Amino acid sequence: MKLVMKNPTRILMFLLAAIIITSGASSCKSKKKLAREKAAAEYKMKVEQSKKDLTAMLNGTTNWSLDEQDKRLEVIKSYNIDDPEVNDLISKVESKLSTDRADAERQAEEERLKREEEKRAMVAASKYQEIDNQLIAIANATNTDDANEQINLILQQFATPDIPVLIIISKAGGFNDYDRPTTISMFLNYLKDKKQYFYKVDAVKHDGLGKITELELIKN
């Protein structure tokens, strides 16, 4: 018996539609698979790079500043990586950066205090430089008359010729160890005879008229 195909055009359209639907579904599945594979590859790359960067920060082998390390750590944490090794490294790096930050702040404070102390010392040295120069001039006088003239000039700055001169031998623990006290008159004549000045003015006290009432020197 001979079969007669009825409406071949309609059948052909159904076949084409089936092919298109099957192809589309296959293509959609292929794209999703590629997207998953791409995401997995990117995640793996983030994990490996994170481990590498965290290890370098922990070992101190990067050339990044503390701020740059902090920023990189925050980026790594934002990945929300579910990996025990990465999470352990994050914890260790956080602790290390906290310690490094505290050390840097302490060092900066020490340097600031050192600069302030040096500045105070320079101001003090400049403040008493004129008196030091006058005392040096007496020790370096070419003859007795010249020395006596220098002595008379500097004595005009003192309240009396008998004001005390305290000579610091050493400083320790905020306390000064002094040599035997003398007077300004005796000390100036000592410089004239000794012809050497091995001291530096450390402190000066004045009265209401601006005259010196006490002089502290320290041995160089």
Average pLDDT over residues 6-18: 63
184 Cβ contact partners less than 8 Å away, ≥ 6 residues apart: 155, 158, 161, 162, 163, 164, 165, 212, 215
Per-residue pLDDT at 8:
65
Average pLDDT over residues 163-173: 91
Question: Residue 13's CB: how many other CB atoms inside 10 A?
Answer: 11
pLDDT tens string 88-104: 999 999 999 999 999 99
Average pLDDT over residues 2-28: 59
Cβ-contact 65, 91 below 8 angstroms? no
- The pTM for the full model equals 0.48
Average pLDDT over residues 50-74: 95
What is d(CA 125, CA 200) in angstroms, rounded to the nearest whole number? 8
Average pLDDT over residues 7-36: 66
Pull the structure tokens for residue 93.
């790096």
Instruction: Quickly state the pLDDT bin for 10 (edges 50, 70, 90).
Output: low
pLDDT tens string 187-220: 999 999 999 999 999 999 999 999 999 999 998 8
Question: Residue 212's CB: how many other CB atoms inside 10 A?
Answer: 19
pLDDT tens string 113-161: 999 988 887 777 678 899 999 999 999 999 999 999 999 999 999 999 9
Q: Return mean pLDDT, the chain.
A: 88
